[in-house]
């Protein structure tokens, strides 16, 4: 009986933790190649790079921002918290620039791991990923809770 109660309590506790973890949004990490000379970047600069308004890292060096494919959680979060736009607004923004021949949207990769792999291998790239996939192959420049 006691064992059963303990089991039930543990299950509830685990479920509660899991629920909490899902609710507390995963942090968004802005990542660059470990060889990048920057130690941090501010959010406004990330926004400018992703909107094609800036083509270089602050302090120099050309930058290639990487987007994630539609449907990824971190993409929705990135659009909402860094670009301050809905997906439809971002599509409208790039329609104006791309179809006027005045800009190209960032390359799109499949998911967090594909972005991490690209950033780890390309010194000019900038990406956003779920914080918990980050390891020593990339450098975190900014964390967005």
Residues that bind other proteins in the complex, under the rule CB under 8 A: 53-56, 62, 67, 69-71, 87-88, 90-92, 94-96, 98-102, 104-105, 108-110
Query: What are the structure tokens assigned to 7, written together?
Result: 């089991």
| Helix, strand, or coil (residue 63) | coil
Whole-angstrom distance, CA of residue 108 vs CA of residue 105? 9
Q: Which is nearer to other proteins, 97 or 140 (CB)?
A: 97
Q: Which is nearer to other proteins, 27 or 47 (CB)?
A: 47
Q: Which is nearer to other proteins, 40 or 95 (CB)?
A: 95
Smallest gap from Cβ 127 to other proteins, in A, equals 14
Smallest gap from Cβ 140 to other proteins, in A, equals 24
Q: Which is nearer to other proteins, 33 or 75 (CB)?
A: 75
Cβ neighbors of 105 (< 8 A, separation 6 or more) are 52, 67, 94, 97, 98
Smallest gap from Cβ 87 to other proteins, in A, equals 4
What's CA 24's distance to the chain center, in Å? 16
Smallest gap from Cβ 56 to other proteins, in A, equals 6
Cβ neighbors of 29 (< 8 A, separation 6 or more) are 128, 129, 130, 131, 134, 140, 142, 143, 144
């Amino acid at each position: 009986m006691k064992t059963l109660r303990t089991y039930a309590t543990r299950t509830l506790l685990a479920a509660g933790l899991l629920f909490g973890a899902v609710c507390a949004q995963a942090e968004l990490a802005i990542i660059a190649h470990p060889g990048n000379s920057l130690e941090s970047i501010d959010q406004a600069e990330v926004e400018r790079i992703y909107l094609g308004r800036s083509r270089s890292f602050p302090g120099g060096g050309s930058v290639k921002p990487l987007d994630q494919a539609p449907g990824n959680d971190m993409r929705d979060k990135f659009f909402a918290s860094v670009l301050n736009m809905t997906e439809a607004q971002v599509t409208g923004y790039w329609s104006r620039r791309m179809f006027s021949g005045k800009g190209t949207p960032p390359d799109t990769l499949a998911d967090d791991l594909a972005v991490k792999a690209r950033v780890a291998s390309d010194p000019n790239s900038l990406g956003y990923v779920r914080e918990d996939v980050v390891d020593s192959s990339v450098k975190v420049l900014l964390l967005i809770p």
